[in-house]
Structure 1
């Protein structure tokens, strides 16, 4: 072997070793402890029924599941309700957030009994971070074009909700979800968190590749910044409804379980 080939082989070996080392670190640092409980936090313009297809899968696996009814009136109110539910759990608990729910689990996931965090097409702010400024670095999602504001509360128009928010669901199902959408305070999108639990907890992320409410590239940014164990789901903004098996499997992984 020539000296040039020898050096090239050595360089490749070092690079490969570094990559292998990083990959192993990403998967094994702070591994999740086995958890018996799962707490699910829904996002904006939704309610706890967002998780109705994931819940029975988790229950069949032997997990105790609670869906928070996030009031959507303020981050403080949502945090308080989530902390109330967390305090009722007996032992290690996986905390899961969808969309705006990711902000809530970032703020409340520092609770001692939270064993792992799972983000589903979700925001994942750092402490005291201006999320609007982060959003501005990525393509604007079309769902925002249908934002309707009244008395400090926001909703999505029927067109925006069915075509963008629930983009990969059957029209009839999307219209049912539109009928029960919960108004969300404008302040929830700008209030900054006081904590970022993902700095100290095992973290998992499901990127929705066809998301029209949050840019998939923004989701990838959050996942990569957290060094999260990440899956990409071929879905719109509601993968827990359109791809419940994939989301349930990720939650089970975070709970240290297999089906």
Structure 2
């Protein structure tokens, strides 16, 4: 098995008198697709917010690529190589699909403000490379033919794919997907499954929160299950999705094909 890229130990988040996440331990290995599942209110998004740097933990440790990054803000986590999407689509509606991706890709550029003001040769080369990489990212997400369309004019499924393209434009090593299949029809869900497989094949590790069990079973190597902020199960999808306790608190049926 590949080396650990993410390690979480004793992670806890308390809001006033409410413990949203309690003493969670988990690991993600490089090259894996790992799913985080559980009922609404289980603490999944709170855990994601801590991993992505938008919410500091009350206690516990987060290590990414061997370095302690507990409590580091989202822009620092982005610089380390962690990128994420959100439950609610967060694109710039008045920008084209291409400009949405370009805006995220600028994080990877090196030319300073002086080069941009004087439009040096190095700046022009970097801008050309940025355009090329942005178009490649759109093509990877099946959106290159929609590059010049305003994000607000894209279909819902296209907007969800655009959000993933924006996250990928920052060249992450770990991609956090928060309910990427939410609101998708079966055809869009299958396209998402194929995209996640391509993302993994490109060398990016994926951790996703998802309620669509067919998506989870199709792409995940391992699952972690939260209930009321506590991890209640972990393991391969075939094992976890047929765990009596997981069925009782979340799935509400006897078996799930995996």
Structure in which a larger fraction of residues adopt strand: 2
Shorter-chain TM band: 0.3 to 0.5
| TM-score, normalization by structure 1 | 0.32
